[in-house]
Amino acid sequence: MKPFVFKQCTNILRSAQRRAGTIRELLHGIKEVSDASVFHHTYKYFLKGHILEYTNDFAQWVGESLEEHTLAEHLSNVDPYDFNKTTALREKIVWVIDDYLAHFPAPRPAMKGNEFYFNESVTIVFPTGIVAHNLAEFLQALKYVDNSSLYYHFYEGRIHGILGPDDFSLWLKEELGETELSEKLIHIDPFMYDMEGMRRLIVQMVEQKVQKDMETL
């Protein structure tokens, strides 16, 4: 059996040398920036510790800076995990904005200083030194690892496997034979919780299984 080796990540941010002050400028930017920039503003949203009212940077800016909450809601409904390529995700976001502008007036421009700045980020991954050989050790580690570790294994883990199971679910199933617990984690909706809420939920699920196993001994 292979142990679970916890890793964590840090992002090195760099500017994409582009900004937007209006919804049309945002739209043109989304069409033209790199895949890395689109990835940064969507998949990596959860690592930034934002409130859960929105689910990507584009929606957050439209809702907070343009005060166009209906469009922000439509953008938040775009689930990046529904797409196996960033180009397809980009096309969906563009379609949502295009469709909105076809039916409603363009929102007012952002106030000076509240423009949207397109960025990219490079993810650096490194080991934490924490290793789990069984479910009990896995549970203890989940309680204390850094949020970036949780993000890397649960959120980006789904992308590592080309939108397959996250790293936790995969290890639980393939190495421990915990198929039922693995399926529970797979079916968690990542948009329903912030990072600490996600940690508490996963810990609760694993803890229940550990307690159940102890009761049957």
- For the stretch 39-58, pLDDT in tens is 999 988 877 765 667 889 99
**Residues 6 or more apart in contact with residue 37 via CB below 8 angstroms:** 16, 118, 119, 120
Task: Tell me how long the chain is.
Answer: 217
What average pLDDT is seen over the chain? Answer: 91
The DSSP annotation for 14-56 comes to: EEEEEEESSHHHHHHHHHHS-HHHHHHHHGGGGGGT--TT-SS
Q: What is the pLDDT of residue 50?
A: 59
Q: What is the pLDDT of residue 33?
A: 97
Give Cα 102 to chain centroid, integer Å: 29
Indicate yes or no: pTM above 0.85: no
Task: Report the run of H or E that residue 13 belongs to, with start and end.
Answer: strand 4-20
Q: What is the pLDDT of residue 216?
A: 72
**Distance between CA 203 and CA 142 in Å, rounded?**
7
Q: What is the pLDDT of residue 51?
A: 60
**Structural contact between residues 20 and 29, judged by C-beta atoms closer than 8 angstroms:** yes
Which segments in the chain show pLDDT lower than 70?
49-52, 160-164, 217
**Distance between CA 109 and CA 20 in Å, rounded?**
9
First and final C-alpha spacing in the chain: 22
Integer CA distances (angstroms), 174 to 3, 4, 61, 160, 203, in order: 11, 11, 41, 16, 19
Q: What is the pLDDT of residue 18?
A: 97
Q: What is the pLDDT of residue 160?
A: 66
Q: What is the pLDDT of residue 62?
A: 97
